[in-house]
Amino acid sequence: MLRGPAGAWAVLGPLLWGCGLALLQGGMLYPQESRSRERKELNGLWSFRADFSDNRRQGFEQQWYRIPLRESGPTLDMPVPSSFNDISQDGRLRSFIGWVWYEREAILPQRWTQDLGTRVVLRIGSAHYYAIVWVNGVHVAEHEGGHLPFEADISKLVQTGPLSSCRVTIAVNNTLSPYTLPPGAILYKTDTSKYPKGYFVQNTNFDFFNYAGLHRPVLLYTTPAAYIADITVTTDVDQDTGLVNYQIFIQGSDHFHLEVHLLDEEGRVVAKGTGGQGQLQVPRAHLWWPYLMHEHPAYLYSLEVKLTAQTSAGPLSDFYTLPVGIRTVAVTERQFLINGKPFYFHGVNKHEDADIRGKGFDWSLLVKDFNLLRWLGANAFRTSHYPYAEEVMQLCDRYGIVVIDESPGVGIVLVQSYSNVSLQHHLAVMEEMVRRDKNHPAVVMWSVANEPSSFLKPAGYYFKTLISHTKALDPSRPVTFVTNSNYEADLGVPYVDVICVNSYYSWYHDYGHMEVIQLQLATQFENWYKAYRKPIIQSEYGAETIAGFHEDPPLMFSEEYQKGLLEQYHVILDQKRKEYVVGELIWNFADFMTDQSPQRAIGNRKGIFTRQRQPKSAAFLLRERYWKLANETRYQPSATRSQCAGKSPFTL
Ligand code: GCB
């Protein structure tokens, strides 16, 4: 039976898809090459300087952006993308708080600087946390927030002079405040008998190292002056016909014509349309299925959009191709449905984290992680605790790895972080996130936060507003946040569609007593379910484990203890998944760096893989479990509706 509010959006979602769009101004399409578009990556070595001055403002006082950085003082070579923290041997840089400066020259093709029908855009994938950007000394952009892209149209700047190069300067500040996401606070230590004058530290309430810098690709790309600014696609299924609703935003011209073609994986046109908005119908559609749920998961169509526009510079064409997965998502009182079939999340929580590069994007690491996920038989992950790189989301679409897409709302524990200023910023971040990730079939649910103090009085209004805003932006997906509050005290959970609960039985309390886990976990599930009658995901559980530590009988921190603890959880998960538990996500996929503290032996060691991606014993245990779960929950299409005759099943 469909539950009230969730049921309503499950039914109305596809019809309402146009309404949410109106709230999203502007687009954030992934920059791609096409017949009308070029891109030039600015990855590689940049000049770099951290501003160690007492007030950290020397760079602004001396206007470091006006002349090449090397002319205003010494610089370091800094790779982009990468965090800057672990690159040098300078301990001060590892824990640096304040402004750092990046600079790089880019040579532009002549056409980009001479053809006024070309638009040149500078795009920064992620700058943590606050960024100011200049091109040739001219301020072009400013952005708050460390995990989402932003861009600046620099055509006018590069098309006005005889220059064929441009100098890009980016100042990045990693300071967090109670009003940023995630929140943090600078603490001045004023006792001069203990600390030097002006001494301060940054306190945070999250458990990962606050890596900073230019974490994702920086690039220049072009579009014609009249261009496809945004595309939004939602999908539905009627019997065996796939429905693809599209809406396209154009900028740079009021007089244009749009053609859309939907192509299957063989390149055959299966549907076409014209105009900025419409519905394509695909008879006998191949649905997008999660990994291991179907013999041919992750089927992607291509939506080819062609714009022909009249402009003052003459007629222009623009081409953009969007991958489209046709699938539905719905929530009932006890189930999470994908394409109308019960889906069980068996997967992991991750971090963007690795040796040396910190949170810097790296293709080798990315592909290795996806190979490990597939080896493990994981069908899902949560982007704990911030949106991951766009390239990660693209691979999830291609491999069928289902995503709970989480905002950087982690560590919202202080009362100030529930202020109007914080809420407004959080709403804006959700807009940026939905705008960026709305077209990914892999994304099946938004998570607005992790472990906030949702028992505090202002949390009720805060989460009600935040969740309803997110639903208004995207009525096609359920919304949640991840709680660790008591079920009776939580003021945010009434507004979620799926309850996501973190618990660390026999780890953060009852140390060493694995015998209490079953009772405590069963009580947890029963309490939440009785109170809300909503499906539940065990969104974190785990134990700190130093690879190579062995103790039998199991002791904390040994590989045996991690395995034993997981096994105790699995007993209850196996009972409750027959009722209303719809998923289990281990904490964590891999060990990761944190702040230094007596509880952390060089980072958080709850990974089932080490930070170098080698398996601990628990990885083999989970692998056996996940493949078994996959076999039990696989959807068997009837012979007549088989969607992939002649194709080999996807197995490892
Ligand atoms: C949690 C947090 C996660 C931590 C984890 C731990 O509840 O959500 O960010 O890393 O516990 O290991 O303590």
Which ligand 1 atom is at minimum distance from the Cα of 592?
A: 10
**What is the whole-number distance in angstroms between the Cα of residue 148 and the centre of ligand 1?**
22
Query: Which residue CA neighbors atom 7 of ligand 1 most closely?
Result: 502
**Whole-number Å distance between alpha carbons of 37 and 634:** 41
In degrees rounded to 5, what are phi and psi of residue 246?
A: -130, 150
**What is the whole-number distance in angstroms between the Cα of residue 528 and the centre of ligand 1?**
20
Sequence-distant (6+) residues with CB within 8 A of 614 are 547
Do 518 and 565 touch, CB atoms closer than 8 A? Answer: no
Dihedral (Cα; 426, 429, 430, 432), 10-degree rounding: 160
Q: Please, where are the H alpha helices in 24-115? A: 58-61, 91-94, 110-114
Enumerate the β-bridge partners of residue 43. Answer: none
Backbone CA torsion sign across 203, 209, 212, 217: negative
Number of Cα atoms under 13 Å in the Cβ half of residue 257? 6
Other C-beta atoms lying within 10 Å of the C-beta of residue 514:
19
**Whole-number Å distance between alpha carbons of 325 and 320:** 16
Record the pTM.
Answer: 0.94
The closest alpha carbon to 392, from 377, 370, 413, belongs to 370
Helices 559-576 and 517-532, interaxial angle, to 10°? 40
Distance from the Cα of residue 8 to its chain's centroid = 26
Tokens of 395: 């691979």
Query: Which residue CA neighbors atom 2 of ligand 1 most closely?
Result: 207
Query: Which residue CA neighbors atom 4 of ligand 1 most closely?
Result: 207
The closest alpha carbon to 246, from 397, 443, 438, 33, belongs to 438
Amino acid at 49: R
Q: Tell which one of 352, 587, 611 to mutate to probe ligand 1, the residue whose CB is within 8 A of the most ligand atoms.
A: 587
DSSP 487: T
Mean pLDDT by 10 residues, the chain (652 residues): 32 38 70 97 98 96 98 98 97 97 96 94 97 97 97 94 85 97 96 95 96 98 97 97 98 97 98 98 98 97 98 93 98 98 98 98 98 98 98 98 98 96 97 98 98 98 98 98 98 98 98 98 98 98 98 98 98 98 98 97 98 98 98 71 34 33
Do 496 and 482 touch, CB atoms closer than 8 A? Answer: no
**What is the whole-number distance in angstroms between the Cα of residue 290 and the centre of ligand 1?**
27
Beta strands 443-450 and 402-406 are parallel
How much is the pLDDT for 522? 98
**Gyration radius of the chain's alpha carbons:** 25
Query: Which residue CA neighbors atom 13 of ligand 1 most closely?
Result: 207
Which ligand 1 atom is at minimum distance from the Cα of 502?
A: 7
Do 29 and 82 touch, CB atoms closer than 8 A? Answer: no
The closest alpha carbon to 105, from 155, 158, 50, belongs to 158
**Whole-number Å distance between alpha carbons of 288 and 599:** 43
**Whole-number Å distance between alpha carbons of 349 and 385:** 9
Query: Which residue CA neighbors atom 10 of ligand 1 most closely?
Result: 207
In degrees rounded to 5, what are phi and psi of residue 593?
A: -80, 145
DSSP 416: G
Q: Please, where are the H alpha helices in 232-277? A: none
**What is the whole-number distance in angstroms between the Cα of residue 206 and the centre of ligand 1?**
8
DSSP 461: H
How much is the pLDDT for 24? 58
Which ligand 1 atom is at minimum distance from the Cα of 544?
A: 12
**Whole-number Å distance between alpha carbons of 353 and 394:** 19
Q: Catalytic annotation on 451? A: yes
Residues in the chain: 652
Among residues 295, 406, 432, 451, which one is catalytic?
451
Q: What residues line ligand 1, using a CB cutoff of 6 Å?
A: 207, 385, 450-451, 484, 502, 540, 587, 604, 606
Dihedral (Cα; 636, 637, 638, 639), 10-degree rounding: -100
